[in-house]
């Protein structure tokens, strides 16, 4: 099988979907090369992606893979990077505190923060929507939920961006080390001065058998909740608004019938979701995907964005249609690692986009905004800036 170098594909970062379509037409699994890995198996078909995401033969805990050295920083041993039974144990502990009731109780505060941000933004007549709304809303919500001090949020944004979408000038080890040190300090502060917040609750949490989170597990959990709790929602909001602005007829439909908003957010997730690929997996034994045998120990990457444009699953998948019923999309993953914060992300996106359209009835792209600055890498899908006017 030929190894395809994704770096050789022009404009792949800006618009990977035509390339994914060509790959799907050739088969559901392909060997590709990226900037950091010389060969991995990219899964592009919907059914195959869904199958891999739910198959425990594809491991996440790199400490058990003899071919790859496992990073020692505790943030790399978070729940997302663990397999059963360790993943099962940690998820059980956090689910006890990350309840539907706790999330629903945030609705008035999410609405209040959105109103405050729009009050500050709207009089100007133009803004970078990422800076003005898409970033500060989920960042404020997750920080308040976890109890992160206000003064630390700019620092955390820099560290989080460095881990998820590092620039060529950033050394991953340095950023990860700084993030780990930051979280250790944050947790120690919570131990000495606990509050009525999720992080304090996780420190206190014990199951019926008295099991709780260790120090390293708390660092990994805080990292996962803070980073996943805002990075994905930033791009859900900004990608969703971009999709609406790029499809004026769909925007007009939504303005005419705000009752379509919930379905519109699901279509935003399917059509151009915030996470392009799931995090890396590796085969713990020889596994057949489609007609391809992936040998034991090989790296596997599931292209969520490709699966959600698979015509075998979604009719006319390259059409943005807020009236479609896109149930079953992969934007939040599938299986044991399905996104714990999906209900919060959906709530924030619905409130933010609904309020934005109400407050800015003639919202449009700012023609003076320049070309999109796309996030690098294969993990996150989005832009650094979204200049708009009204």
Q: pLDDT category, 178, cuts 50, 70, 90?
A: confident
Residue with tokens 């599931």: 302
Q: DSSP letters of 60-98?
A: --GGG-TTSPPP-SGGGGSGGG--TTHHHHHHHHHHTTS
Q: What is the pLDDT of residue 168?
A: 63
Task: With a cut of 80, say whether residue 115 has pLDDT above it.
Answer: yes
The whole-number average pLDDT for the span 137-144 is 91
> Domain locations in the chain?
4-389
How far, in Å, CA of 380 to CA of 93, rounded? Answer: 27
Q: Which tokens hold the place of 128?
A: 């970078």
Task: With a cut of 70, say whether residue 230 has pLDDT above it.
Answer: yes
For the stretch 315-337, what's the b/e string if a residue is b when 16 or more beta carbons lie within 10 angstroms of its beta carbon?
Answer: eebeebbbebebeebbbbbbebb
Most trustworthy range by pLDDT among 159-173, 221-235, 260-274: 260-274
Radius of gyration for the alpha carbons in the chain, expressed in angstroms and rounded: 21
Q: Which tokens hold the place of 9?
A: 């594909």
Instruction: Return the closest-CA partner of residue 5 out of 30, 25, 22.
Output: 30
Task: With a cut of 80, say whether residue 209 has pLDDT above it.
Answer: no
Question: What SS3 state is found at 195?
Answer: coil
The whole-number average pLDDT for the span 362-384 is 93
Q: What is the pLDDT of residue 225?
A: 86
Q: What is the pLDDT of residue 66?
A: 72
Using CA atoms, how far residue 110 sits from 133, 343, 348, in Å, is: 12, 13, 7
pLDDT in tens, 322-338: 999 867 999 999 999 99
Q: pLDDT category, 387, cuts 50, 70, 90?
A: very high
How far, in Å, CA of 342 to CA of 324, rounded? Answer: 20
Regarding pTM above 0.85, the answer is yes
Burial class (CB in 10 A: 0-12, 13-18, 19+), 291: exposed
Q: What is the pLDDT of residue 62?
A: 82
Tell the CATH superfamily of the 4-389 domain: Cytochrome P450 (1.10.630.10)
Of 22-26, 74-78, 233-237, least confident by mean pLDDT is 74-78
Residue 43's DSSP bridge partners are: 29, 302
Residues 6+ away with beta carbon under 8 Å from 137: 110, 113, 114, 117, 233, 237, 348, 352
The whole-number average pLDDT for the span 210-233 is 86
Bigger pLDDT: 168 or 61?
61
For the stretch 108-119, what's the b/e string if a residue is b when 16 or more beta carbons lie within 10 angstroms of its beta carbon?
Answer: eebeebbeebbe
Task: With a cut of 90, say whether residue 302 has pLDDT above it.
Answer: yes
Give the max Cα distance, the chain.
60
Most trustworthy range by pLDDT among 32-36, 69-73, 145-149: 32-36
Q: pLDDT category, 112, cuts 50, 70, 90?
A: very high
The whole-number average pLDDT for the span 165-179 is 72
Q: What is the pLDDT of residue 359?
A: 97
What's 277's DSSP letter?
Answer: B
Q: What is the mean pLDDT of the chain?
A: 90
Using CA atoms, how far residue 336 sits from 148, 196, 226, 329, in Å, is: 28, 29, 20, 16
How far, in Å, CA of 292 to CA of 286, rounded? Answer: 10
Q: What is the pLDDT of residue 69?
A: 63
Task: With a cut of 60, say whether residue 207 has pLDDT above it.
Answer: no
């Amino acid at each position: 099988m030929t190894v395809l170098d994704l770096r050789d594909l022009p404009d792949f970062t800006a618009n990977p979907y035509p390339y994914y379509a060509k790959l799907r037409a050739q088969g559901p699994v392909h060997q590709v090369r990226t900037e950091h890995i010389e060969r991995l198996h990219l899964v592009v078909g919907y059914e195959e992606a869904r199958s891999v995401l739910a198959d425990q033969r594809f491991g996440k805990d790199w400490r058990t893979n003899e071919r790859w050295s496992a990073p020692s920083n505790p943030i790399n041993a978070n729940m997302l990077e663990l397999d059963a039974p360790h993943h099962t144990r940690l998820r059980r502990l956090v689910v006890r505190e990350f309840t539907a009731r706790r999330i629903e109780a945030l609705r008035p505060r999410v609405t209040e923060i959105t109103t405050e941000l729009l009050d500050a933004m709207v009089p100007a007549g133009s803004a970078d929507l990422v800076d003005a709304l898409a970033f500060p809303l989920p960042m404020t919500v997750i920080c308040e939920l976890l109890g992160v001090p206000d003064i630390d949020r700019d620092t955390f944004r820099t560290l989080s961006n460095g881990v998820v979408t590092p620039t060529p000038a950033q050394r991953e080890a340095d950023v990860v080390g700084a993030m780990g040190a930051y979280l250790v300090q944050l947790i120690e502060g919570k131990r000495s001065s606990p509050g009525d917040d999720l992080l304090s609750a996780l420190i206190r949490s014990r199951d019926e058998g008295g099991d709780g989170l260790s120090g390293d597990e708390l660092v990994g959990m805080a990292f996962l909740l803070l980073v996943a709790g805002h990075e994905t929602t930033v791009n859900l909001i900004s990608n969703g608004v971009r999709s609406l602005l790029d499809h004026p007829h769909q925007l007009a439909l939504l303005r005419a019938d705000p009752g379509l908003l919930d379905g519109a957010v699901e279509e935003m997730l399917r059509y151009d979701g915030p996470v392009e690929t799931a995090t890396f997996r590796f085969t713990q034994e020889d596994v057949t995907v489609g007609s391809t045998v992936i040998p034991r120990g090989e790296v596997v990457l599931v292209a969520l964005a490709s699966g959600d444009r698979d015509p075998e699953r979604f009719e006319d998948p390259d059409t943005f249609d807020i009236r479609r019923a896109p149930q079953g999309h992969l934007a939040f993953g599938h299986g044991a690692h399905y996104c714990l914060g999906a209900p919060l992300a959906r709530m924030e996106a619905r409130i933010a986009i609904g309020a934005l359209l109400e407050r800015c009835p003639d919202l449009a792209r700012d023609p003076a905004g320049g070309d999109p600055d796309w996030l690098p890498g294969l993990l996150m899908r989005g832009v650094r800036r979204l200049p708009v006017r009204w």
